Structure 1
Amino acid sequence: MAEELRWVLIIISVVVIGGLLIHGLWSVRKKDAPIATNERVEPTEQPPVQRQPISEPTATHTSQRDEPQFGDLSFSASDEQPKLDDVVESTVAEQSELQEDTHSEECTKTIDEAPAAEDFIIVHIQMPEGLTMEGSKLLPAVNTLGFKYSEEGFFNRHLDPAGHGPVLFRLVNMYNPGTFDVDNMEQFSTAGISLFMTLPCDGDGLAAFNMLHSAAKKLADEFGAAILDSQREEMTVDSVRDYVEKVRRFSV
């Protein structure tokens, strides 16, 4: 009985040990076999690379010119001289308009335009440096010479000393604004005046120039001033001859 029990234990031990060995071998093979899977691994999506826009350089307008800036062009009666030619041209234009208006009132059927000025005779009367002409003395002097004050602010010498007929020549202030305020002549003073006539002129051009030259000499003597030509140089005999020849060319 004891012998049979011993063989039963031996057989059970063999079976258990064999089972353990078989289980161990199966476990090892299962571990070494590759794992099959049906899952698909999706690649990781990378965010798109955003390209920064290339900024264009700001165009610089190198061809743009800087316009010059002009300052105050006004003149003072005590220092700088204006461009008298501008005053003369403006005066001539106003004179032409006045002549046209007067003629249209007298004759409505036919309108004759005044001839355009082609040249000027200009004579300056300049005071010595530091001295001025007082308006209280200038006004009676020009009135004595037959000048008449006009609405434009100038003194005109007409063909008729009473102030009638065409204007032969004018007297203007050498300094801006070129005019006179006849109502305030007591407070007025200037360092120079100018006489000018347009060419061709109405009537006898040589007689008008002789009258202008004579008036200039009288005013210069009255105030102790110098007579200058259009270039602001001292008037000479040759300067007078040049003026006479110019008047003759326009009188033909």
Structure 2
Amino acid sequence: MNSIQTFLMALCVLLIVGVLVHGLWTLKRRPDLRQTFDEEQAHHVQRDVSEPQATAEKLVFFKESLKEDVLTKSVESSPVAPAANKRPEVMVLYVRARPKQPMAGDALLAHLEKLHCRFGDMGIFHRYQAMSKEDRILFSLANMVQPGHFDVTAMPQTVVPGLTIFMRLREPTRDLASFALMLNTAQQIAERFQAELLDDQKEPWQAATKQAYQRQIKPQPTPIQLQTSA
């Protein structure tokens, strides 16, 4: 029994050796087969290396494209108004008493009443659209001295060095009418007390200043320049 097993094992070894020898002999006689085998192995190795690299490159490209697309849409969806056409929120004028000529509180109180300016919220005076405190405020008048409010009960016994007159902008066409009334009121106060009318930089009021204010209240659209071909 042992002799049979030994014989079979020897036969298997001879068969394996024979197959190997035949394979080597075939490769030596057919070098084209060896080249084909080497190329196939190289192709598989290159594919295993290049495929993850290509996948990574595609992922990076996708992320960059997505980021650029989001940024582009954000810029396109965010309207940016030209600086020249930007409207301020508040327009301000000052009426400042001249040196040694402060405005007497009782006289100012009477004059503001004459100009339909009513004492109200925040302890300052307001000009209402229809003379009623329930109507829309067109503009307001505050004390030029901080904190800006008036003690209306003590006002007849005090002097006022100046007024800050301001209006909040809402709608350009109506704002122009309100500004005209505000400017007229400021001019009448300045004339009554021989005071100075100043702009928002506390510079003397001039004719050109009025036009500048009007342009800020209702900016003119920027003309579109068409390019002509030569």
* TM-score (norm: length of structure 2): 0.55
Instruction: Identify the residue that residue 64 of structure 1 maps to in structure 2.
Output: none
Alignment-derived partner of residue 174 in structure 1: 144
Determine the C-alpha separation between the residues in 2 that align with 1:124 and 1:239: 13
- Which residue of 222, 226, 248 corresponds with 2:196? 226
- SS of aligned partner of 1:193: strand
Structure 2: state its 5+ residue gaps.
Answer: 1-86, 221-230
Shift of 1:164: 3.4
Instruction: Give, in whole Å, the separation in 1 of the partners of 2:127 and 2:203.
Output: 24
Aligned to 1:125: 95
Structure holding more helix per residue: 2
Q: Please tell me whether residue 149 in structure 1 is matched to residue 145 in structure 2.
A: no
Residue matched to 2:217: 247
Trace 1:1-252 onto structure 2 (pairs within 5 A).
118-200=88-170, 204-249=174-219
Greater RCO structure (CA 8 Å; 6+ sep): 2
CA–CA distance in structure 1, aligned partners of residues 172 and 135 of structure 2:
9
Aligned mates of 1:151, 1:192 — CA distance in 2: 19
Q: Distance in 1 between matches of 2:173 and 2:199?
A: 23
Percent of aligned pairs sharing the same letter:
27
Structure 1 unaligned regions, length at least 5? 1-116
Deviations 1:12-31 (A, max 9, x none): xxxxxxxxxxxxxxxxxxxx
Shift of 1:196: 0.5
What is the alpha-carbon root mean square deviation over aligned residues? 1.9
After superposition, the Cα gap between the structure-2 partners of 1:131 and 1:201, relative to the gap in structure 1 and judged at 3 Å, is farther
Checking the alignment, whether the CA contact within 8 Å between 1:169 and 1:208 is kept in structure 2 is yes
Structure 1 residues 203 and 195, CA, compared in 2 at 3 Å: closer, same or farther?
same
TM-score by length of 1: 0.50
Q: Name which one, 1 or 2, has greater alpha-carbon Rg.
A: 1
